[in-house]
Structures are given as structure tokens and as C-alpha cells.
Chain A
Amino acid sequence: MNMQINQPVRLTAAETALVEAFAAQVGELPGNGAVTGTRDRLLDDLKRSGLPTRRIESWHYTDLKNLLRSVPERVVGGVSVDPIAPLVEGAKVLSIVQGVADNRATIDGVELSVFRDQLADGSAVAGLAAFDKDDAIARINGSFVRDGFALSVPADVAVEQPIELQAVHGAGQVHTRFPAVFGARSKATIIERHCAVTEDAALVSSISDLTLQDGAEITWIILQTQGADDTHLGQIRISLGTDSKLRLFIVNAGGKLVRQELRVEVQGEGSEFTLRAVNLLGGDTHTDVTMVLGHNVPHTSSTEIIRNVLFDKASGVFQGMIKVAPDAQKTDAKMACNTLLMSDDADFSVKPELEIFADDVICGHGATVSDIDRNHLFYLMARGVPENRARAMLVNAFVAEIVEELEEEKLVEALEGVISDWLEKHA
């Protein structure tokens, strides 16, 4: 059918750098025989098909092959990066510095291990596999991952203080994993934080794998504040059990090239999935949030609200696919994507998709793109607020509205602080 299919792919500079980086680390990457075998296969797949281009549907708006111009070399030793203060005062910090997890960390009531141990004993091997041939993030991460934290909250345990998974790094490459199992009726708030502390380019890939057992109620926050030259490839995999509730909150406020993938499987009746995402995009950057959400059983609900603010020449993408299985009756799913374009040179693409095979469901999606409301601007100015300040207040309000849904005061305050700091720098 296609003559090109048998021709070898000509590798780009970035692809070549990945292949070479892998070769340089052979024998050094943690893992038993099974893990090493899986790594080899993943890298081989990457080498054979290359990074995805716009011809791959799920990467149509983020042509990774063209956008990823180069890959920084791995920095070995001599990196002076220190952990930073937690986002929320009192949070228990699990620190990952330059991709290496602190194995002395403990949290009362939480079973904790470092991911490198799971690689070494081979228990991590099943999770390394890619979903499909287009799953470039799993290929890269599975090939190179060195560490992270595996956490498990036993049944009926409510973890009082938020847990912060704090991945800080300087230049180079960082590949991390965070498998997390939340036992029946457990409760916890987790902050997954990715933060560059120097300005030099880094390539970061990170995969979180969340399992919520029956009745678990979890808040998971991803705060991405990478540097201006960084590439961040994130993936979060979610499985929701009966009557479980997950509130997932994503803030993208950094990075040059960012892709955040969400693969959500709603597996238990009575479960609820909530996604709120704030994308603050400026400069000459590209950020992509791609979600595939499966409602697989009856009586489940989900809501997603994505708010985007774009300045300068930034571009952004939200792809949201909701699949409702044939027997997933009474599914209630609502998705909204609202964009504030503050520059004529910025653009945002939205692709909502509904695949519904059940007949008794409520499914809806909506998208808006706007400038600041003139009536709002006039009202603030008529009270003496100068135009620039009034505009900043209104942009802030546009995203603050969904941050406030989190309700925990300290968390709301901390995230609003991150947002207003970003706006002060970019607006």
C-alpha cells in the first residue's frame, strides 16, 4: 500500500541524540533482565518509527519530530540542585533531584519505595510497556527512566497533609515515574511538581500511574513550571474503581515544548472524574494537553474544564476524547475549553471528540475563544484601576475561577500565587 513503509526512517538530530544517549547508558540504566529487554524493545521501536509527526492523528497538532529540535546531553554528576520549599506549607516532600529519588523519605501511613528498586527487581516491567505504536512518551520514558517514587496508601487511611512529589532539575535529561495505588476508601492530596531551577535546556519525561480502588477520594495536582528552553513530556494514567473520586488539577506555567497526556479509564460504577487545567502560555512556546477518557461502566460522571491564556507567539492544543462504552448507560460527561487570546500572534487549537456507544447518556462539550470582556474592563477602569492592572486582574480572574474550586484555602492561595507571578512576568 505504501512504498515508504519499508524504507528506513531518516533520524533527526534529536532522534539520533536519543539513540546515542541510550547507547551511552547501556549497562548503567537500572533494571533486571526483563526490564532491560523491555527498554531495548522500546528504544528499537523509537528508532524504527522515529518521533511522531503530524501525520499521526493523536500528534497532528504537535509535530514532535519537527518541534523537538535537539536533545540536551545527560548531565552526570556535578549538578548542584537543591530541593525547594514545598508549594503548600506543611506538605510532606518526596524529593527527586535531577531524576534521583531520596530513598530516606518516609510518610506515616504511606507505603513508599523508590522506583529504581522496582526496576532492579523487575516489578516495574509491566508498566513500562507503551499503549500503542503512537505512544512516544512511553517509549522515551520506558527506555530511559531511572527513578521516581512508588507510593501506596492502604485502605481506609486518610493522609492528612498533602504529599509533594518534587522533581527539581537543572540542565540535561530527567526521566521519572510515579506509580500510585490508593486503597479502598483512602483519602489523599498529592502535588506532582516539575520545576526547573536553572535556565539551561532539559528534556523531562514523566509518567504517573494512578489506581484508585473502591471509594478512594484523591486530589492530584500537576504543577509544571519548567524553564524557557525545556521540553516536558508528561503522561498520567488513571484507573478509577467503584465510587471513587479523582480531582485532577493541572497547571502548565513553563516549558518550551510541553505535552501532557491523560489516559483515564473509568472502571467502577458510581465513580467521578474531575479535570481542571490552567494553561498559561507565553513566548514562542507550544503546549499540548491531550486526554483520552473512557467511561466503561454504567453510572459514572466526569467534568473537564480547561482554561487557557496565551500571550506573544504561544500556541496551544487541547484534544479531549470521551469514549462511552456500549453498556455505560447513565454516563454524565461534560467538557469545556475556554481560551483567552491576549495576542494576535498566539493560537489555540481545540479538538473535542465524543465516541458514544450507549444510548442513555448525557455528554456535552463546548469551546470558547475570546478577548477580555470590554464591559468588565470598563467597569474596573471606571473605578480608577489603570488599564494594564485591570487587564491583569481580569486575566487572573479567568483562571482563578477554577482554581477556587479546589476549596482548600492554602492550596488555592499557593496556586493563585504561582499564576499571578507568571502573569506578572509575561503579561
Chain B
Amino acid sequence: MDKARYNKFRQTREFFIRNSMLFLTLVSLSFAVIIGISLYLKSVPILDQQSLWALLTGESWRPLKGEFGFYPFIMGTLWVTGLAIFLSLPLCLLAAIYLSEYAHPYIKKIVFPMVDVLAGIPPVVYGVWGILVVVPFISETLAPHFVEFSTGYSVLAGGIVLAIMIIPLMISVFIEIFDALPGGLREASLSLGATNWQTIKKVVLRKSFPGLAAAVVLALSRAFGETIAVLMVCGNVSEVPKNLFDPAYPLPALIANNYGEMMSIPMYDAALMLSALLLFVIILAFNAISRLVLIRIEKNFAL
């Protein structure tokens, strides 16, 4: 009868383990909701006082006077992220096509680990590199050709550093998409006499366009929320930048730079938490959409 008791024990244990794991899974799913709600609760005071639209389009940022206009920071973020995508997209697209369609396995064996290492380098080290190399290069070599004076801490510096930071993410998603394309499509095109490049242009790129777009949105939202590196190289002046050599003050940098003072000035903490909430909501939406597109692609091709 010992065995029967042991089996009973095993069944109870099974029941217990199963349900606690289910519980944990369900709790973890509510995590995003909890983040959203707690940031919202913290930003309610400022939303009660001014409308969201007024905050987003307001141009003046004077916390001591109670003026919280996010417009310069939103523009700063858009400038820097836009530039980063502009620089990084052609580079990544070409490299990803090369690596998945042309490159010898030997080359892949060298390049893939390097992309991995690039992905692993911490943001703050990118920032250090920006200060050591990019900023002086801009202020001493590049800027004098275009503007009278630039410290180098600028939209351009932020854009370059971010462009390199998003390379690993973009390349790896691009390559995944190209690899998911059925080989038969390429063979059909090649057998009709198309060159490799023609096949890529007319078949591979066209077929994988939705996936590529999703990957770009993914990279965009990564760049959007990057904090320390842009904080270190963008200059942080709360004005709308007019050209690439002007300093910018992206939203995440605003949060990180002012956490120290925010408790001592009324509404300051609410304003900063509101910007965190904005980042959260925008990036959540971007990510959800592009992940759904990518999942659908994976399903369609995996026949």
C-alpha cells in the first residue's frame, strides 16, 4: 500500500506544481498592465492641470514656473532617431543581403559573432566611444565646413552613435526574414536567367517587404528609448534643433538627467513620469504591431 500512497503524493505534487506555474504565467502577463497603470497614476497630477495636447505641443520647459512643454524633446527624439534609421537602414539592408545570399559560410562565421559582440556592448560604452571619437570628429573636422561653430554634442553625434547601436538588431531580424523565404522562389527566378541581384531586387526584397518594414519599426523603437548613450553625446539643450549640428534633448535623456531634482519641484515628477508613460505606450504599440507582422510572416512561409 506504500506505493499507492506514493502515487497519491505524486499526483498532489503534480497538481500543486501545475497550478503554481499557471498562476505565475498569468501574473507575468499582467506585468505590462501594471507598468502602464503605475506610470499613469504618477502622471495624473499634471494631466489634471493641463491637457495632453497642450503639454505635447508646448515649447517652453521651465519646471520652476510650472511650464512643461514637451515639444522640443519630442522633436529632439524624432531628429536623432530619424537620422539613426536613415544612416543604418541602407547599411544593414546591404550587409544582410550579402550575408544571407552571397557570403561564404566562412565569412558568416567571422561576421556573426562580431554582430553578437556589437549587440552586447553596453550603451554607456557606446556613449564613451561617442565622446572619444564622434564628438571631436564632428566639432573639429565636419562642422567647420557647414556651420560657424558646433561643440560636436549634436543631433549628428546622437544619430551616428544610435545608428551603430541598432545595427545588430536590424541585421539579425533582416537575416531571419531572408532565411525564412522559401528557396524555391529564388531558384525559379534564377532558372529563368535572372542574375542574383535581379532575383534579390524583384523577388526576395519584394516578398519580404512587410517583414523588413516590421524590422525597421522594431529598430526605430529601440532607438527611440535609448537613454544613456544619447544623453552623453546629444548636448541636452531644450530647444528644437534646426540642423544636424545643433544639440538635441531626446525624451529618455530628459528623464534620466533630471531624476535627482524632480522630487523637489512641484509637478516635475509627474511631468517626467508622463514622458516615461509616453515612451512606454508608443514603444509598446510599435513593438506589438511589428511582432505580430513578423509572427504572421513566419507562419506563412513555414509551409
Q: Do chains A and B interact in one complex?
A: no
